[in-house]
Every structure is written in structure tokens, then in C-alpha cells.
């Protein structure tokens, strides 16, 4: 994702020769950072949704969770014999009398639910993010390898059918694009004011408040950019870059 969003976009000169305004660079970096945090937190959201679903035996509640917080109709959550947590859905084909079951999210667990103190992982084998519930009731979302270091702490988690999934986020995301020994773009971000986050029934995930400091090191053009991103509401944020400010929608 970082390749598509940052390649050729952090410099002030567009590929067709048209000159960007300096604030455009800051806006671009800000938008990319928002998408990066949204993407990672959506993975955490689905872990929480799966745990919420499996931790209740109330079938009516499970149906509501499925209908409001899962992507596909006829969705459900299971734990297989290996401890994999599978978010699946049933596909009804007009051409095939046999329904098919597809998996769109898979978490590897230690056999326990997160709410029971379990530890789950998500992602490819070499890039697994670890999700755990801590003794103080907070959650950790950790990924640490040569190219990515994500250290997020989630607190004040609340899951409500009507009001959505809400929580606070603190921590940082560090992401290298390219080879570790020869990186092209390095994005280093830190939450400097706690993010307040909501995922609502329409499956949107938004930040209501908080601040992120961003350092973007573009090694291709030997350029370092610093951006301050402040959330002003559920779809609006303020970018501060090179002593200029701009409000963006996301």
C-alpha cells in the first residue's frame, strides 16, 4: 500500500511537469498515514468482532454482530481444531445448488479467546501481527520485523450493537518501503495525542480526535518531510506542513 501512495508523490514536482503547492505534499503524506492506521486498526477490529461473536452464546446477538459488523451477508465465526479463528461467509450461487463457504479473515490463536487472555496473530508467516489482551484490560497490537514496527495500545474498548466499536489508540507505526539495506521511503509516525476511534454499523472506521506526528524520509530524492496531523472530527483532519495548514477530508 505504501508503494502506491508514496511513489512519486512526496516530491513537489508532478510527473507531467506541473508544480504542486508545498502543502499538497503534506496533505498527501497525511492522507497516506490515515489510510495506514485505518488499515491496521481494521485488522484489530475484526479480531475484536470475532472474539465478541464467539464469547456469546446468544444467537440473536451473533446475528446482529454478523449483520452490522461483517462485510458479507451470511457471515459467521468459528474456531477450528488447530485454534484458527475463521471469519467466514456462505455464498449462494445461482448456478450451483451447493452453497460454498469462503474465509475472508483468519487469526491464529493459542486456543483461547482474546477475552479469556488468549494471544492471536494475523498476517503472513513472516509478517504476523500479534494481538493480546493485557492484564489491565488494554489490548496490544504488535508487529516487529525488518520493514515494519507497529506498537499500538488500545484502551477503553466498548462494543455496542447500536453505538459501534469505540476505543482509544496510543503508540507508533514505522514502515520501510523497499529493501531494508536500501530503502526508498521510510515513514515514521507517532501518536502524540491519544486517538479516539469508532467503527460504526455502516462499517466505516473513523478518528474523532487525536494527533499524529509524521516523518517521511524519501531516500530517492534525499528529502525529509515533517507533517503534523490533527483529527477534527469523524471525517476531517488538519495538516500542518512547512508552516502552512490545510483541512482535509478522508
pLDDT band at 177 (very low <50, low <70, confident <90, very high): confident
Predicted confidence band of residue 92 (pLDDT cuts 50, 70, 90): confident
Cα–Cα distance measured from residue 110 to residue 79, given in angstroms and rounded to the nearest whole number: 11
Mind listing the pLDDT tens digit for each residue in 119-151? 999 876 556 899 999 999 999 999 988 888 999
Angle at 66 between CA 116 and CA 96, to 5 degrees: 125
Hey, is 187 helix, strand or coil? Answer: strand
Over residues 215-240, the pLDDT tens digits come to 999 988 889 999 999 999 878 999 99
Query: Does residue 55 carry a pLDDT above 80?
Result: yes
- The pLDDT, as a whole number, for residue 7 is 45
Residues 210, 34: Cα–Cα separation, whole Å: 12
Query: What is the number of other CB atoms lying within 10 angstroms of the CB of residue 108?
Result: 16
**pTM score, whole prediction:** 0.85
Amino acid at each position: 500500500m505504501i508503494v502506491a501512495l508514496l511513489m512519486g508523490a512526496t516530491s513537489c514536482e508532478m510527473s507531467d511537469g506541473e508544480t504542486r503547492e508545498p502543502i499538497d505534499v503534506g496533505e498527501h503524506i497525511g492522507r497516506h498515514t490515515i489510510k495506514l492506521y485505518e488499515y491496521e486498526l481494521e485488522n484489530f477490529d475484526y479480531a475484536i468482532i470475532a472474539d465478541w461473536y464467539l464469547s456469546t452464546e446468544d444467537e440473536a446477538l451473533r446475528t446482529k454482530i454478523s449483520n452490522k459488523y461483517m462485510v458479507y451477508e451470511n457471515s459467521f465465526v468459528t474456531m477450528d481444531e488447530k485454534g484458527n479463528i475463521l471469519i467466514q461467509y456462505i455464498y449462494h450461487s445461482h448456478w450451483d445448488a451447493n452453497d460454498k463457504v469462503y474465509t475472508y479473515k483468519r487469526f491464529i490463536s493459542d486456543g483461547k479467546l482474546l477475552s479469556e487472555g488468549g494471544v492471536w496473530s494475523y498476517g503472513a508467516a513472516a509478517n504476523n501481527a500479534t494481538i493480546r489482551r493485557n492484564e489491565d484490560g488494554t489490548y496490544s497490537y504488535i508487529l516487529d520485523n525488518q520493514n515494519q514496527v507497529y506498537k499500538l495500545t488500545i484502551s477503553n474498548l466498548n462494543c455496542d450493537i447500536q453505538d459501534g466499536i469505540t476505543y482509544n489508540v496510543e503508540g507508533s507505526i514505522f514502515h520501510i518501503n523497499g529493501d531494508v539495506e536500501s530503502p526508498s521511503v521510510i515513514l515514521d509516525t507517532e501518536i502524540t495525542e491519544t486517538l479516539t476511534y469508532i467503527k460504526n454499523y455502516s462499517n466505516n472506521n473513523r478518528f474523532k480526535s487525536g494527533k499524529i506526528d509524521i516523518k517521511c524520509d524519501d531516500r530517492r530524492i534525499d528529502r525529509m518531510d515533517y507533517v503534523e496531523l490533527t483529527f477534527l472530527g469523524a471525517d476531517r483532519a488538519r495538516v500542518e506542513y512547512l508552516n502552512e495548514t490545510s483541512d482535509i477530508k478522508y
